[in-house]
Amino acid sequence: MKFTLTLLTSIILLASCANSQEGSQGEKQKETFTVYGNCGMCKKTIESSLEDVAGVNSADWEIESHQMSVQFNPSTITLDEIKQLIADVGYDSDSHRAKDEVYNNLHGCCQYERP
Ligand SMILES: [Cu+2]
């Protein structure tokens, strides 16, 4: 029984390893969506929430249009996870809402009008 479990675990590990190798071959997806915010400080906070995140190749938020453009590897990270990371630092997007206490901790000038 224990042996079977170990065998199963190694098969799963091997399979996920093969998966991530497939992903590292430069598969890229580009998405644009709305993230609510006000200023250059928001831009910094929003963009740095995706800095050094595995699977994210680029992240750019435009102050004027509130448009977030991300380029990422969909086999490493999902769009949903990306939006959640942005919500975690206090910013609402078209589908994910930041927690009130995180929003309330934003700098006064960054407390954008919530959708
Ligand atoms: Cu701001």
Per-residue pLDDT averaged across 83-102, rounded?
98
Percentage with pLDDT > 90 across the chain: 77
How much distance in Å is there from the Cα of 76 to the middle of ligand 1?
29
* Ligand 1 centroid distance, CA of 112 (Å): 8
Look at the block and give the residue holding tokens 């224990």.
Answer: 2
* Integer CA distances (angstroms), 13 to 6, 53, 72, 112, in order: 10, 22, 23, 44
Give the pLDDT of residue 1: 56
Q: Nearest-CA neighbor of 79 among 115, 113, 29, 42?
A: 29
Ligand 1 centroid–CA 45 distance in Å is 8
Cα(36) to ligand 1 centroid in Å equals: 10
Are the C-beta atoms of residues 54 and 87 closer than 8 Å to each other? no
d(CA 3, CA 80): 37
Ligand 1 centre from 31 Cα, in Å?
23
Distance 16 CA to ligand 1 centre (A): 39
CATH architecture of the domain with range 28-110 = 2-Layer Sandwich (3.30)
* H or E segment and range at residue 34: strand 29-34
* CA of residue 42 to ligand 1 center, whole Å: 4
* Residue 114 confidence class, pLDDT cut points 50, 70, 90: very high
pTM: 0.78
Could you tell me which residues are beta bridge partners of residue 60? 69
Q: Which phi and psi angles does 84 have, rounded to 5°? A: -65, -40
